[in-house]
Structure 1
């Protein structure tokens, strides 16, 4: 199969893009990671958690469905824009890593000029979504762009690029709350802090796939920094995330069903830590992807608690 029309190495075989998307769209869908939805799920979940937590505090029986839909569209668009931007910046690094050299830009499926145009189109969709919220949320959303723009360069200058990713990917924990109240409070800030640690943890597991290639290319990561202590460090990060979430729930004063959802989420994180293996790339990817289901359990607990 020609590189210009081939799939990417880290996408699931048989994904909908390869089977159903028209040929002209496939390279751009791969560039936006539409064939790998776990990324936008992980961006979306803090938005939904905060929206559900805020609606619970406000006394609503359900989160604002319109907000949930807008967050979904925004997460898909902005995750795609972020991946496109990241791939433009990292195209030379990606060409030297086995897992990423088949991505659309280094493999020649999309040239840089067209990638920039596609980036702009996705960013415009994100802007339309952002302008649907209150003024405080608009300003808050725009302020996240500084972190988003800095992230691709962090792997060149620090062993903690996952921390910067956490700052960006967790922003929805603030947005979901501000969309309801037009302001922030202690509860969403604590939720955000927990999400930052959660992101560092799961992205460290994800980065275990690339340790050897990253050493060759000079790419820095928490996976390389932690080395043989990766399991213990991910355990500490996840424990910190759980403690911040406990504090957020306590401050918000939510009910027992939401606490049950949080307990199940914490148990799942403990299961991940128990199963981390430094030399099993396939397992690392499975553990990383498992955060979606656990995150939806936490969201369901918040929603059901409000209904009850």
Structure 2
């Protein structure tokens, strides 16, 4: 059982939950302006983890025909058969059910809206078959995270969470473009759609830069509508430095540092944002 759980964790790259969870906490404190009931925090986190697990499992299930052909993914547990296709789909369905149950425990509106999240999680991997802007579908998944937190805590949508959602959407869409650079030739060969496959490396990097500039703009607007202060905006300057550094790692003629940019720097960005929000809300001058 322990070995199987480890395989499932490898399948969904559970350690990458670090990209989303800090933003979930930041959303909680932006909406609540303090600490909400622990029960609320618990079910929000369960919903977030279940949603990400479902999304990764759906992604691995629907991408299996491509992953079996891609040399980069030949050792993935989904490809080697260590985790069977039926198990992958079962994990996706079970995680979706946990997401829906968690939403039910939060409030009726969250419960009624939970299928929207699942729909987006399914559409993302399928989108690679019909749109070059599939990265924005993944962005839409992250867009609804802070909005879902607002619905869970208040039963309504806080305007600040809309801008935070837009910031998160363009942030994740930008680094998803970077990730897709690894498979540009393979994607063109088998017909997987992406911005790099359609427009080439140079233009794809430009798209990512524009998306991350929009991230900065929307995070500034988040601070304005959430009535955050000097700590928040000072932190945004540091966060912007990380974004700029991320882009210095990716060059048209050198993609060797994609993993550093994708896995390491983005993890720092999400954690830094959470810390900045916490400090601004709880530390008063």
| TM-score above 0.5 | yes
Alignment of 1:49-60 (within 5 A): 49-56=26-33, 60=34
- 1:75 is displaced (CA, Å) by 2.8
- Aligned pair 1:24/2:1, yes or no? no
In 2, the alpha carbon distance for the partners of 1:52 and 1:195 equals 16
Where does structure 2 lack aligned partners over 5 or more consecutive residues? none
- 1:275 is displaced (CA, Å) by 2.5
Count of aligned pairs:
281
In 2, the alpha carbon distance for the partners of 1:63 and 1:287 equals 34
- 1:101 is displaced (CA, Å) by 2.6
- Aligned pair 1:256/2:230, yes or no? yes
- 1:125 is displaced (CA, Å) by 2.6
Match of 1:184 in 2: 157
Match of 2:273 in 1: 298
Alignment of 1:131-280 (within 5 A): 131-227=104-200, 228-280=202-254
**Aligned in 2, Cα 1:281/1:130: closer, same or farther, shift over 3 Å?**
farther
- 1:191 is displaced (CA, Å) by 1.4
In 2, the alpha carbon distance for the partners of 1:68 and 1:98 equals 41
**Aligned in 2, Cα 1:69/1:89: closer, same or farther, shift over 3 Å?**
same
In 2, the alpha carbon distance for the partners of 1:185 and 1:75 equals 18
More helix by share: 2
- Aligned pair 1:44/2:18, yes or no? no
- 1:68 is displaced (CA, Å) by 3.9
**Aligned in 2, Cα 1:71/1:100: closer, same or farther, shift over 3 Å?**
farther
Q: TM-score scaled to structure 2, two decimals?
A: 0.89
1:286 to 260, 265, 269: 260
Q: 2:229·2:280 contact (CA, 8 Å) conserved in 1?
A: yes
Match of 1:127 in 2: 100
Q: TM-score scaled to structure 1, two decimals?
A: 0.83
Match of 1:10 in 2: none
In 2, the alpha carbon distance for the partners of 1:30 and 1:76 equals 15
In 2, the alpha carbon distance for the partners of 1:304 and 1:269 equals 21
In 2, the alpha carbon distance for the partners of 1:115 and 1:226 equals 32
Q: 1:97·1:214 contact (CA, 8 Å) conserved in 2?
A: no
In 2, the alpha carbon distance for the partners of 1:140 and 1:261 equals 33
The superposition leaves residues 106-165 of structure 1 with CA deviations (integer Å, 9 ceiling, x where unpaired) of: 222122223222223222332332222122222333322222221111111111110101
- Aligned pair 1:91/2:64, yes or no? yes
